[in-house]
């Protein structure tokens, strides 16, 4: 199995008529993802290489039966796009866009929790989600992912998401689902959301978790792993050499007051029984050891 999406998931691309939306929408379709519609109120009634364009998400859902959407809208429009999808009844929203204002993120995060609890948001500022061999929603290169399980991956870092996939593929280890949750301060999907889903998935036998400096998400994940996870976990935390008090990479990677350091996160995860590598390759090697022992 996979978590959140699979080969039957029908996806609407909000922004399919834009250059990036078109490029990745068609690439995802070529991978095997069921890209059934796009939206653009100014281009309703047209199509993108046979994919129909509708004025609204609600109209696209009614016509296609889609349950997921992928947002390739410029940052100022993401708030409206997320709320439109949620209000239409979309169950899973993937927001790829970076640079979304933090107050917009906080607003639609809380709006979804309060008014649309059945809608799961992934992102913003994330690479998306891939269930190898089944569906790829976002910007992850499909050829670096090996299908067939038994490992689930969750990562805050986009580029390290790709490296984790490739490290495992080089070791001939398949992946059930890889989720890039993004590194913004208010992510729609957390480490814990993914860990809980992987724990419940019978085909996922182990989990690889990629974190980074800033915030407390990794420490919270460590507490969850210690209390709830029966499946083995390997991890890597980026930012060991990062100076405190500096913004590193993006908005979520801020260390202050001795909190959010790589060292603190690594210690918390180790205490929870996680095998922590000093670099991404070592984390992959630790996962290979875990898989060999399954």
Residue pair 86/62 in contact (Cβ under 8 Å)? The answer is: no
Structure tokens that stand for 110 in this block: 């809380």
In a 3-state reduction of DSSP, which class is residue 70? strand
Q: Which of 103, 116, 143, 250 is catalytic?
A: 250
CA distance 204 to 256: 35
- Output b/e per residue, 91-110; b: 16+ Cβ within 10 A: bbbbbbbbebeeebbeebbe
Residue found under tokens 């929408």: 25
Residue pair 177/128 in contact (Cβ under 8 Å)? The answer is: no
103 catalytic per annotation: no
CA distance 278 to 283: 7
**CA angle centred on 176, ends 175 and 179, rounded to 5°:** 90
CA distance 107 to 281: 38
CA distance 206 to 4: 17
Sign of CA dihedral 273, 279, 282, 287: positive
Closest listed residue to residue 283, CA positions, set 173, 142, 148: 173
Residue pair 224/194 in contact (Cβ under 8 Å)? The answer is: no
CA distance 258 to 264: 9
Query: Annotated active-site positions, please?
Result: 250
């Amino acid at each position: 199995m996979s978590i959140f999406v699979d080969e039957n998931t029908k996806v609407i691309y909000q922004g399919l008529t834009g250059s990036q939306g078109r490029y990745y929408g068609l690439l995802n379709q070529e991978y095997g993802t069921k890209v059934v519609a796009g939206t653009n109120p100014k281009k309703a009634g047209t199509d993108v290489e046979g994919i129909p364009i509708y004025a609204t998400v609600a109209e696209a859902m009614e016509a296609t039966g889609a349950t997921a959407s992928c947002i390739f809208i410029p940052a100022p429009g993401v708030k409206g796009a997320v709320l439109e999808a949620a209000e239409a009844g979309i169950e899973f929203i993937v927001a790829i866009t970076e640079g979304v204002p933090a107050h917009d993120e906080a607003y639609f995060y809380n709006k979804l929790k309060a008014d649309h609890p059945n809608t799961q948001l992934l992102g913003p500022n994330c690479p998306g989600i891939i269930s190898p061999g089944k569906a790829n929603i976002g910007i992850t290169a499909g050829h670096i992912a090996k299908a067939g399980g038994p490992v689930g991956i969750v990562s805050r870092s986009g580029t390290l998401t790709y490296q984790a996939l490739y490290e495992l593929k080089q070791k001939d280890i398949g992946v059930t689902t890889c989720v890039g949750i993004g590194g913004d301060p208010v992510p729609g999907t957390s480490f814990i959301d993914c860990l809980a889903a992987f724990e419940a998935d019978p085909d996922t036998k182990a989990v690889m978790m990629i974190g980074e400096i800033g915030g407390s998400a990794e420490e919270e994940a460590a507490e969850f792993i210690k209390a709830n996870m029966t499946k083995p976990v390997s991890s890597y935390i980026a930012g060991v050499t990062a100076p405190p008090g500096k913004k590193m990479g993006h908005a979520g990677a801020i260390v202050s007051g001795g909190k959010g350091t790589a060292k603190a996160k690594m210690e918390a995860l180790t205490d929870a029984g996680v095998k922590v590598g000093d670099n991404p390759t070592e984390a992959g090697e630790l996962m290979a050891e875990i898989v060999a022992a399954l």
